[in-house]
C-alpha cells in the first residue's frame, strides 16, 4: 500500500505528496473550490472524492485510446498515484461551444457552436491572471519548444474527440475544457493535472442544465448535486 510521505506542494484544489516511488507522486483531491484567481473561495462537500472518481474514469478512457497521461492508479477515495512530471506552464483550452471568457470577451452569445474546435493557450501565471497567449508567445516565454507545442496541440485535439464521444454517450455536451501537460522524468509529454467538472463545462444535452463548476462561479446552487450527476452518468459506461 503506497503511503503519502511529505507534502511538497499545495494548490487551490489539490495537494502533492512524495511517496516511496522516486518516479511518482500522490495527488490528494481537496474539497476546496476557488474562482476568479482565488478571489472567491468555498468548500464543496465531497468535491475531492467526486473529482478523484470522475478523473479516474476519464484517465482510464483516455488510456484506452492510447493518450499518454500522468495517471497510474487510484489509491483510495481522495488519492491518485501519478508519474512525477514537470508541469508545462500553459493552460490549454478547447472550446466546442462558445461560453465563459470567450463569450464575454468577443460578445458572442453563450452556447453558440464553434465551426471547429477552438484551441486557446493561457500562460499559467497567477500573478498575471493566466493571460491568453498564442503559440509564438508560449515559445518566446520559453514555456515549451516548437516540437512540444505541436505535440500538445495534437494530443489536445485527440483528447477533445475522445471526450466529446464519451460525454455524448451519457447525454452531455462537452462545451469546453482546460487541460495541462507535463514532462516525465524520461522526457515524454503527457496529460497531467485533472479532468473534472472543475476544469470542464458540461451541459445536459436535453435541458442544457449546467453540470460543472459554473454552478459555483455563478452562484447557481446545487454544485455537489451536479458533480454527483456527472459521476453517476459516467459510472453507467461499461
Ligand atoms: P473560460 O471560459 O473562463 O476561459 O474557461 C474555459 C474553460 O477552462 C472552462 O471549461 C473552465 C476551465 N477553467 C479552468 O479549468 N481553470 C481556470 O482557472 C479557468 C479560468 C477556466
pLDDT of residue 134: 98
Residue 128, all three cell numbers: 498575471
Cβ of 200 closer than 6 Å to ligand 1, yes or no, is: yes
| 1 confidence band (pLDDT: 50, 70, 90) | confident
| Residue 88: DSSP 8-state | P
Atom in ligand 1 nearest the alpha carbon of residue 101: 2
Cβ of 199 closer than 6 Å to ligand 1, yes or no, is: yes
Query: 22-60: per-residue pLDDT in tens?
Result: 999 999 999 999 999 999 999 999 999 999 999 999 999
* Mean pLDDT calculated for residue range 92-118: 98
Q: Is 226 helix (H, G, I), strand (E, B) or coil?
A: helix
* Total residues belonging to the chain: 238
Query: 150-200: per-residue pLDDT in tens?
Result: 999 999 999 999 999 999 999 999 999 999 999 999 999 999 999 999 999
How, if at all, do strands 132-133 and 113-123 pair? Answer: antiparallel
CA atoms of 167 and 180, how far apart (whole Å):
20
Q: Chain-centre distance of CA 157, in angstroms? A: 14
Amino acid at each position: 500500500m503506497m503511503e503519502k510521505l511529505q507534502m511538497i506542494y499545495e494548490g487551490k484544489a489539490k495537494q502533492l505528496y512524495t511517496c516511496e516511488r522516486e518516479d511518482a507522486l500522490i495527488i490528494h483531491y481537496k474539497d476546496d473550490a476557488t474562482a476568479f484567481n482565488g478571489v472567491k473561495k468555498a468548500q464543496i462537500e465531497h468535491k475531492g472524492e467526486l473529482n478523484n472518481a470522475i478523473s479516474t474514469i476519464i484517465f482510464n478512457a483516455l488510456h484506452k485510446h492510447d493518450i499518454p497521461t500522468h495517471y497510474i492508479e487510484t489509491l483510495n477515495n481522495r488519492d491518485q498515484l501519478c508519474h512525477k512530471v514537470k508541469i508545462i506552464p500553459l493552460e490549454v483550452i478547447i472550446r466546442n461551444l462558445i461560453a465563459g471568457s470567450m463569450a464575454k470577451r468577443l460578445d458572442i452569445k453563450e452556447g453558440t457552436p464553434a465551426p471547429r474546435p477552438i484551441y486557446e493557450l493561457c500562460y499559467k501565471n497567477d500573478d498575471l491572471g493566466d493571460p491568453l497567449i498564442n503559440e509564438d508567445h508560449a515559445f518566446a516565454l520559453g514555456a515549451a519548444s516548437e516540437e512540444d507545442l505541436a505535440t500538445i496541440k495534437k494530443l489536445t485535439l485527440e483528447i477533445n474527440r475522445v471526450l466529446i464521444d464519451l460525454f455524448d454517450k451519457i447525454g452531455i455536451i462537452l462545451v469546453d475544457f482546460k487541460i495541462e501537460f507535463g514532462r516525465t522524468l524520461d522526457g515524454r509529454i503527457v496529460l497531467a493535472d485533472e479532468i473534472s467538472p472543475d476544469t470542464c463545462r458540461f451541459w445536459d444535452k436535453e435541458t442544457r442544465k449546467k453540470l460543472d463548476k459554473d454552478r459555483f462561479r455563478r452562484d447557481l446552487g446545487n454544485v455537489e448535486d451536479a458533480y454527483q450527476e456527472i459521476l453517476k452518468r459516467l459510472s453507467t459506461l461499461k
